[in-house]
Structure formats: structure tokens, C-alpha cells
Amino acid sequence: SVSAEVLAPSGTDDSDWKPPTYPKTQEQLGRLRAAVSRNFLFSHLDDDQTEQVLGALQERKIPSKDIKVIAQGDVGDYFYVVETGSFDIYVSGTGKIEPGVNGMGNKVASCGPGTSFGELALMYNAPRAATVNSTEPSVIWQLDRITFRRILMDSAFQRRRMYESFLDSVPLLNTLTAYERSKIADALETQKMPAGSTIIREGDVGDHFYMLESGTAAVYKSGVEQSIKSYNKGDYFGELALLDDKPRAASVVAETDIKVAMLGKNGFQRLLGPVESIMRRDDPRQRAGSAQPSSSSARPFSDSV
């Protein structure tokens, strides 16, 4: 039963547990590998774990729009990865006005290829927190709750916990929901660097966005001797090159030993869309430009990277 399984600490009396394996054609396996390669929850698995999870995933075709794959309040049975198609997510009982007659509540998010849903109920042994409804014919892959908990959850759970208080303290992210911040946690990598390291080099192609977890960093621009700005815990940098597909506008150097949380370009685009306008507003050149288009406030150099 669900409760007995929850009480059994993993790896004790069930050492002979094996994940189920569903045979797949080469063609299916190819599609599945492509779908999970875009999902951050899978990126921390080792080769063995990846093979076990791929074996345990089952293809499910959703033939049309308006199929409820998950109904809010139900018991959680599967975790899902989207291969093709798209889904809308609804939460009811939020206290906000709930328009429409579908009884599903307010739409809170949409998800498409490479994303996943249905992890919360399995992680927290809670009822389904939302309803997930197809908006077109789709293909998804489902993973049973036991395999999810045994293989995928530990790392995801730890990462969400580990980053929770840090992400709560980043001002840029405070308009996001806790759920959106946990999705960011799934995608972050922490890197430690000694004092003096160059984190970003002016002129390089930008492939990561950074948030400073500890220590301080300084910004330098070629031709200017002194640092033009410094960053402290909770500050972010490296967004401009990603937002506008431009080379790095300045260098960022660690002043002390530092820890940075890095988000790749794909995750940046997928997860930080809702705060793009805040990042652009934080950029002093944009502020100067929009407030006083032809005044003397334009700076001789950028102090954002």
C-alpha cells in the first residue's frame, strides 16, 4: 500500500526492488531520450539511473484536447514528461474569482515539450495540487510513483531544499511563486571559485546566467581601470548577453572566494521569462534611455553584464 511504502526507508528491507522495464523500439527510445534530455530533473542522474528511468517510463498518447491527465485532489500515481503537445494547468480554491464553467479553477501555467508535471503529489505524499488538461493531441511519458521516489526524487528534493532559502532571498525572484522558484532550483548548478577568478570575460559569448550565493564580485570594463560595480549575495549578473544575444559587455571577477548558482541559457529563457521586464528595468542603460531619451544621463559604459 501507499503508506507502507512511504514508511519503508529506501534501501532497507527492499534491496531486491527493481524498477519495472517496458520494452521500447529504437524509434521510441530515440524520442524518449530527446524528451528527457531537455528536462532538468533528469540531468543529475548517473548513467545507471538514467537507464533504469528510461526503462520504466511508459509512452502514453493523449488523443485530443481536453483530456484531464491529472485532476486536482486525486491521489498521485504517476509523474509525467511531455514529449509533444501542450497542457494547461489549473488550480481551484485559490480564493480568486474562477471564471469559466469547466470547474477546473484558474489557469496558472502551461507546459510543453521537455517539461514535466505531477511531481508534487509524489514528492510530498499530497493530493494533486492542480488539474492538468491537454490543449491538443499530445504524447507524454509516465513514470510510476515508486520509481520516481526511488530514483528521481532524492536529488530533486535535496536541490529544492538546498536552494529554497537562497532563492527566497534573491530580490529579482520575489514576484515568482514558490513553485516557480522550485523549478529554478531544479535547473541550477552551484560552482565555487577562488578569489581572483574571472567568472565572465568581456567579449565572450554568453551561455550562463549567475546569482551570487556567497562572497563578492566586481565588474570591470576594458579601458576603465577601476571596478565599475560590485555584487553581493543575492545579486545577479550575466543576463544581458542572454537577453539580447550580444557578447558579454564587461568582465566579472571574484573579489573573495565565491559560490555562484548558474542557470544555462535554456533554463534562463524557460524559467526567467516572467522577470525579464524586471531585469531590463534594473539595467541602468535602459532606465537612462527610457526616462530621458536625449539627456546627458547616458553612461559612458554599461555597468551590467
β partners of residue 259? 192, 214
Q: Which residues contact 201 (CB under 8 A, 6 or more apart)?
A: 248, 251
Minimum Å distance from CB 210 to ligand 1OR?
Answer: 23
Nearer to ligand 1OR, 126 or 205 (CB): 126
Angle 300-243-219 from CA coordinates, rounded to 5°? 45
C-alpha to C-alpha distance for 42 and 152, rounded to whole angstroms: 7
Closest CB 246 distance from ligand 1OR, rounded Å? 29
Residue 88 or 239: the one with the smaller Cβ distance to ligand 1OR is: 88
Q: Which residues bind ligand 1OR (CB under 6 A)?
A: 70, 76, 89, 91, 108-109, 117-121, 128-130, 132, 177, 179-180
Report the SS3 class of residue 45: coil
The CA distance from 243 to 272, in Å, is 10
With respect to ligand 1OR, which residue has the nearer C-beta, 130 or 219? 130
Least Å distance between CB 142 and ligand 1OR? 12
Q: Report the side by side order of strands in the sheet with 208-214.
A: 189-193, 258-264, 208-214, 236-237
Q: Which is nearer to ligand 1OR, 110 or 292 (CB)?
A: 110
* Cα gap 39→267, rounded to integer Å: 9
Q: What minimum distance in Å lies between the beta carbon of 91 and ligand 1OR?
A: 5
Cα–Cα distance for residue pair 89/95, rounded to 1 Å: 17
Q: Which is nearer to ligand 1OR, 182 or 304 (CB)?
A: 182
Question: Rounded to whole angstroms, how far apart are CA atoms 285 and 298?
Answer: 7
Between 104 and 241, whose beta carbon lies closer to ligand 1OR? 104
Give min distance, CB of 31 to ligand 1OR, in A.
Answer: 22
Is the Cβ–Cβ distance between 76 and 141 less than 8 Å? no
Distance in Å, CB of 167 to ligand 1OR, minimum = 14
